[in-house]
Amino acid sequence: MTTIVVATCVAAAVALWLPGRAVPPVAAVAPRPRDPGSDWMRRHRPLWAALAGAAAASFGSGPARWPAAALAAVATWVAIGRAESPALRRRREAARRDLPHVVGLLGDALRAGQAPSAALSLVSAALPGPASERLGEVVARLRLGVDPATVWAELADDPALGPLGRSLGRAHSSGASVLLTVERLAESLSEDRRGEIEDRARAVGVKAALPLGLCLLPAFVLLGIVPTVAGMLGALGYS
């Protein structure tokens, strides 16, 4: 019985892992695009929880097998619900990469005499992407009359655009110049980006050491050690 249950779980997992038939998208207007595949783990969330419970019950024994099965099912359900989809992770990384460009364009718009909300609107229209979509929501809330302090506090909680929200929030609460605050943030982001690039460049040398060593070692053996050993053996044989 245990073998049958385990085989059924494995077959169901393989069937879910195989790609299905592509469905043509329906033309619709949405504020934010959905993830490709609608997050297949969440789409089959009940089945994954049931498979985890069945596996725990099949490997257990005695009266404790059923509480263990229920615990495994609940834990799988909660873990899948809290997991972040790869599409959302890619969007967050793209927004983080766009942040220096967003701040630079925002500083240019502020130097041209635009108000912060108008400058954010211009930046959102000029630089499409995940960061601009988030800024579009911020601009919409500002135009609806929401308190700027509340808007900047919400933007500060954003995992990608948090530095911009914190800087604008400090400028709003202290009355400091928004332009100077944005310029300092642009310099800080530029230095951080430069440091990340230098770290990646140093990491490339470290990661390339092993492949280069594996490539050069056979050549060193064939060109250095083999002729020396052959010469010594020839000299010994000749003598």
Give the model's pLDDT for residue 40. 63
DSSP 23: -
In a domain, 98, yes or no: yes
Round to whole Å and give the CA distance between 141 and 60. 54
- What pLDDT, on a 0 to 100 scale, did the predictor assign at position 26? 33
Indicate if the pLDDT at residue 35 is higher than 80.
no
pTM for this predicted structure? 0.53
Share of the chain above pLDDT 70, in %: 78
Q: Give me the domain span that covers residue 181.
A: 89-192
Instruction: For residue 161, give every residue at least 6 positions away whose Cβ sits within 8 Å of its Cβ, in sequence order, or none.
Output: 95, 99, 102, 131, 134, 135, 155
DSSP labels for 138-178? HHHHHHTT--HHHHHHHHHT-TTTHHHHHHHHHHHHHT--H
8 or 155: whose pLDDT is higher?
Answer: 155
Please check whether residue 51 is in contact with residue 8, taking contact to mean a CB–CB distance below 8 angstroms.
no
Q: How many domains does the chain have?
A: 1
What was the pLDDT predicted at 133?
83
Taking the CA atoms of residue 231, residue 234, residue 235 and residue 237 in that order, the dihedral angle to the nearest 10 degrees is 160
Q: What gap in Å lies between CA 80 and CA 48, rounded to an integer?
A: 9
Residue 179 lies in a domain: yes
pLDDT in tens, 119-166: 888 888 888 888 888 888 888 888 888 888 898 898 888 888 888 889
Residue 18 placed within a domain: no
Residue 236 has pLDDT above 70, yes or no: yes
101-110, 154-163, 200-209: which has the minimum mean pLDDT?
200-209
57 falls within a domain: no
Per-residue model confidence as pLDDT tens digits over 46-68 = 877 788 778 877 777 777 777 77
CA distance linking residue 109 with residue 45, whole number of Å: 46
In a domain, 230, yes or no: no
Domain assignment present for 103: yes
Q: What is the per-residue pLDDT for 83? A: 66
> If you ran DSSP here, which 8-state letter would residue 198 be given?
H
Cβ partners under 8 Å of residue 159, min gap 6: 92, 96
103-131 mean pLDDT: 86
Give percent above pLDDT 90 in the chain.
0
Q: What is the CATH number of the domain that holds 108?
A: 1.20.81
The pLDDT of residue 238 is 52
CA 127 to CA 101: how far, in whole Å?
A: 8
The DSSP call for residue 51 is H
- Rounded to whole angstroms, how far apart are CA atoms 136 and 129? 11
Q: Give Cβ neighbours of residue 44 (< 8 Å, ≥ 6 apart).
A: 16
In a domain, 7, yes or no: no
Say yes or no to pLDDT of 21 above 60. no
- Whether 213 maps to a domain, the answer reads no
